[in-house]
Amino acid sequence: MSHEHHVHKHDDACTCETAAIHENIVNHVKEDFPPLETFEELALFFKVLGDPTRTRIMWALEQHEMCVSDLCVLLNMTKSAISHQLALLRQANLVKNRREGKTVYYSLSDDHVKELFEAGFEHINE
């Protein structure tokens, strides 16, 4: 059996070399298909998670709110390295911060992030 080769492009032009076998399914899925920009944004979101240093930071912050200095000691990293990773996590809306006096505390941004992170751990530990 030969496999069909599909060309993926960023426009709506049909470049598929075969007809749909289940046209009703294709049409049903197509009705609510998000725009390409949504998938690009989602891929960037997961790309931010695709770094072991950032996932270690997130695991720590899931356990407890922490400041940069405490994260430095925990992960044996410099303040500038931790701050850089926290900035990327903040830009992706994965962590939030609050100031108390001169100290800035970081935590996971919301329950969605916590649930996503926990689901990832459950998946790899199955």
| Run means of pLDDT, 10 residues per run, the chain, 126 residues | 44 70 87 91 88 95 96 97 96 94 96 88 89
**CA 118/CA 65 separation, integer angstroms:** 16
User: β-pairing, 66-67 with 103-108?
Assistant: antiparallel
Evaluate whether 90 touches 79 at the Cβ level (below 8 Å).
no
| Predicted pLDDT at 18 | 80
| Predicted pLDDT at 5 | 44
| Predicted pLDDT at 29 | 87
| Predicted pLDDT at 12 | 54
The CATH class that applies to domain 41-124 reads mainly alpha
Residue ranges of the domains in the chain? 41-124
| Predicted pLDDT at 8 | 45
In order, the DSSP letters of 94-113 are SEEEEEETTEEEEEES-HHH
| Predicted pLDDT at 7 | 42
